[in-house]
């Protein structure tokens, strides 16, 4: 009960004119940053750091927080419209969102993404308010063996991401994992596959890869049409239909829960929550073959999950004072600038700040919904631009997006290379999503396993004699074997095998 009171007070604080103003600017900037591919919340926050020394503390923090979850709203926009993930976490939205746009249903896709984001974010915030300390404690139990088991479980989601033949999807995932190993080995510090090129020491970033793989390759593919054929997108309706709502309710609910819990585990990229949601929805769907061709569940679930995850991602920082990613590290710095040391006693020592921030996030989510819905009409108009004028802009935005990540030409080269690769992949029917999964989960799995082996000094039993790890190992095994157990999926497999050879 006191939690609700505290939350209400926090919301009141956040609604003070100055805080509201900064909050509004924050979510606006966040949306912008999310829409622009490549420019992530980390970059925007870094740009605003000099302001930290002059702005009022709470208002400034509200603005920074606004940027982070605002970006999750905007990220889906370009994914749906032009197949460029605005944020790495919007990659999955490209799959069905863009397909829907090509069917003229960009409006419902954008609308459902906005609604899902709102519901996921707001519910997650209530979850944070009530469960933060408990979840933070739980998160501490995740050591390397638990992460390894969790990632293994996550890889089994691969089974449900692939539309085509499994062996091609596996090839892509393994390839993604190989690419991710380029750079300094996080465990031993040995440079791997860097050919003494300095820029490669930090590895191949996820952002330039997905911009090229999804965005640029799509441009190349569209231009490959016969001369005179202009890419046209008819627009049917601006908002989701009643049927859309019926289809999306359950995915949104599941996405919220999934995103909330995955996000609260320290160190997991929000992307993972979106992959998990997509895989779950596909598994539970009565018509899995529709996924990838414009199933709105494939947009509603992941978009909800990524907002829920980005909200619960604050738990390790706010409850324990542990920054678990680049954005949280920046916010940690911002809190330090104002002398608000985040730590286990943060909530107790600075309740106005904690509850004020939570309250501001709830208000912010509402602002974002109201902001984004009318914008849908504007975004749709962009699709009306003749492709001959649109594609140079897409290419330009891709280049800028790739460049601004770390101010390096190297990232642009990567985008170009993966753009071409993505084009070839589409021609030869290889999917990009499994590669992204491999790229993200591969290194996490590898470092987790190797660290676990160091801890256990060579014994693999460490994955089984620790309770949480054992549970996930069992789940992973179940996921691997369950397609063989369910006759329905078995039937589908047989049909697929007959179809594609």
Partner 1 sequence: MKKAVSIPLYWLFLASYFGYAGYNLGLGAGGRPGAGFFPFGAALAIGAIALARLIRLASESAIFATTTSEWRRIICVIVGMAAYALLLDPLGFALCTFLLMAAYLKLVAVQSLRLSLGFAAGVAFFAHLFFDSLLNAQLPRGLLAWLL
Partner 2 sequence: MKHTRLALLALALLLMAVPLLAQPFPNKPVELVVTSNPGGGVDLLFRLLAEEMSKILKTQVNVANQATASGAIGAEKVASAKKDGYTLMGSLLGQIATMSAANPKGPVNLTRDFQPIAILHGYAAVILLSRADSEFKTLKDVVALAQKKPGEIIVGVGPTGTSLTLEIELLKRAAKIDVTSLPLAGSAQTITNLLGGHVQLAMASDVAALAHIKAGKLHGVAVDVNSISLPEVATFAKQGFPQVNLLAHLAFLAPKGTPDAVVKTLADSIRKAMQEPKLQESLKTRGYNVDLRTGTAELNKLVKEEIDKYSRFSADELGWKAQ
- Under 8 Å between Cβ of 106 and 81: yes
Q: Which is nearer to partner 1, 58 or 67 (CB)?
A: 67
Distance separating alpha carbons of residues 61 and 67, to the nearest angstrom: 10
**Minimum gap (Å) between residue 391 Cβ and partner 1:** 7
Closest CA to 8 of 448, 300, 360: 360
Distance separating alpha carbons of residues 215 and 392, to the nearest angstrom: 12
Q: Which residues contact 210 (CB under 8 A, 6 or more apart)?
A: 85, 88, 91, 436
Stretch that binds partner 1, among 59-67, 298-306, 371-379, 455-463 (CB under 8 A): 455-463
Paired with 192 in beta bridges are 183
Distance separating alpha carbons of residues 146 and 21, to the nearest angstrom: 42
481 binds partner 1 (CB under 8 A): no
- Under 8 Å between Cβ of 299 and 80: yes
Number of H helices, E strands in the chain: 24, 2
Distance separating alpha carbons of residues 455 and 25, to the nearest angstrom: 46
147 binds partner 1 (CB under 8 A): no
Angle at 102 between CA 303 and CA 236, to 5 degrees: 90
253 binds partner 1 (CB under 8 A): no
The HSE-up count of residue 381 (CA atoms within 13 Å, CB side) is: 4
The HSE-up count of residue 363 (CA atoms within 13 Å, CB side) is: 28
Residues in contact with partner 2, shown as a per-residue x/- string from 174 to 203 under the rule CB under 8 A: ----------x-xxxxxx----x-xx-xx-
**Binding-site member from 15, 55, 178, 239 for partner 1 (CB under 8 A):** 178
Residues in contact with partner 2, shown as a per-residue x/- string from 434 to 453 under the rule CB under 8 A: -----------------x--
Residues in contact with partner 2, shown as a per-residue x/- string from 141 to 160 under the rule CB under 8 A: xxxx----------------
Q: Answer with the entry of partner 1, partner 2, none that 284 interacts with (C-beta below 5 to 8 A by kind).
A: none
**Minimum gap (Å) between residue 78 Cβ and partner 1:** 15
- Under 8 Å between Cβ of 208 and 407: no
234 binds partner 1 (CB under 8 A): no
**Minimum gap (Å) between residue 97 Cβ and partner 1:** 24
**Minimum gap (Å) between residue 334 Cβ and partner 2:** 7
10 Å Cβ neighbour count for 298?
A: 28
Structure-block tokens of residue 384 = 């009306």
Phi and psi dihedrals of 184, rounded to 5?
-75, 130
Q: Residues binding partner 2: what is the number (CB under 8 A)?
A: 54
Residues in contact with partner 2, shown as a per-residue x/- string from 321 to 360 under the rule CB under 8 A: xxxx-x--xxxxxx-xx-x-xxxxxx--------------
339 binds partner 1 (CB under 8 A): no
171 binds partner 1 (CB under 8 A): yes
How long a stretch of residues is the chain? 501
Which helix or strand (DSSP H or E) is residue 347 part of? helix 346-349
Q: Is 183 helix (H, G, I), strand (E, B) or coil?
A: strand
Q: Which is nearer to partner 1, 44 or 433 (CB)?
A: 44
Binding site for partner 1 (CB under 8 A): 39, 47, 167, 170-171, 174-175, 177-178, 181, 185, 187-188, 190, 192-193, 216, 219-220, 223-227, 388-389, 391-393, 395-396, 399-400, 403-404, 407, 409, 412-413, 415-416, 419-420, 423, 427-428, 442, 446, 449-450, 453-454, 456-460, 501
Binding site for partner 2 (CB under 8 A): 42, 45-46, 49-50, 53, 140-144, 184, 186-191, 196, 198-199, 201-202, 266-267, 316, 320-324, 326, 329-334, 336-337, 339, 341-346, 406-408, 451, 454-455, 457
């Amino acid at each position: 009960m006191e939690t609700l009171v505290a939350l209400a007070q926090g919301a009141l604080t956040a609604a003070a004119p100055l805080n509201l103003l900064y909050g509004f600017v924050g979510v606006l900037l966040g949306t912008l940053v999310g829409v622009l591919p490549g420019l992530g919340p980390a970059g925007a926050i870094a740009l605003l750091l000099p302001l930290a020394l002059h702005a009022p503390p709470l208002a400034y923090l509200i603005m920074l927080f606004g940027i982070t979850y605002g970006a999750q709203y905007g990220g889906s926009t370009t994914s749906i419209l032009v197949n460029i993930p605005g944020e790495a976490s919007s990659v999955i939205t490209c799959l069905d969102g863009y397909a829907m746009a090509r069917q003229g249903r960009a409006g419902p896709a954008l609308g459902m993404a906005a609604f899902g984001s709102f519901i996921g974010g707001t519910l997650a915030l209530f979850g944070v308010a009530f469960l933060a300390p408990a979840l933070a404690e739980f998160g501490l139990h995740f050591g390397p063996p638990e992460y390894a088991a969790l990632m293994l479980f996550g890889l089994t989601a691969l089974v449900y991401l692939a539309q085509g033949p499994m062996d091609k999807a596996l090839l892509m995932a393994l390839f993604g994992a190989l690419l991710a190993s380029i750079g300094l080995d996080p465990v031993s510090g040995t440079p791997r596959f860097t050919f003494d090129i300095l820029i490669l020491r930090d590895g191949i970033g996820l952002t330039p890869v997905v911009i090229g793989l999804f965005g640029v390759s799509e441009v190349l593919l569209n231009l490959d049409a016969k001369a005179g054929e202009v890419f046209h997108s008819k627009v049917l309706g601006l908002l989701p239909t009643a049927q859309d709502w019926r289809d999306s309710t359950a995915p949104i609910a599941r996405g919220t829960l999934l995103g909330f819990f995955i996000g609260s585990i320290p160190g997991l990229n929000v992307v993972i929550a979106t992959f998990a949601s997509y895989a779950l929805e596909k598994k539970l769907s009565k018509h899995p073959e529709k996924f990838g061709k414009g199933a709105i569940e494939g947009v509603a679930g992941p978009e909800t999950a990524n907002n829920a995850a980005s909200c619960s991602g604050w738990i390790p920082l706010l409850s324990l004072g542990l920054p678990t990613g680049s954005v949280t590290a920046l916010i940690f710095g911002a809190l330090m600038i104002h002398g608000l040391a985040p730590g286990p006693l943060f909530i107790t020592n600075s309740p106005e700040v904690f509850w004020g921030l939570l309250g501001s996030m709830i208000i912010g989510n509402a602002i974002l919904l109201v902001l984004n819905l009318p914008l849908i009409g504007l975004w749709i108009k962009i699709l009306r631009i003749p492709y001959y004028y649109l594609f140079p802009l897409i290419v330009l935005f891709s280049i800028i997006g790739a460049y601004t990540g770390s101010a390096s030409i190297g990232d642009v080269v990567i985008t170009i290379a993966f753009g071409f690769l993505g084009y070839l992949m589409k021609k030869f029917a290889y999917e990009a999503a499994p590669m992204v999964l491999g790229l993200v989960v591969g290194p996490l799995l590898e470092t987790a396993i190797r660290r676990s082996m160091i801890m256990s000094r060579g014994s693999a039993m460490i994955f089984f004699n620790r309770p949480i790890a054992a549970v996930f190992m069992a789940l992973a095994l179940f996921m691997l074997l369950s397609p063989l157990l369910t006759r329905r999926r078995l039937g589908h497999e047989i049909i697929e095998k007959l179809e594609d050879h």
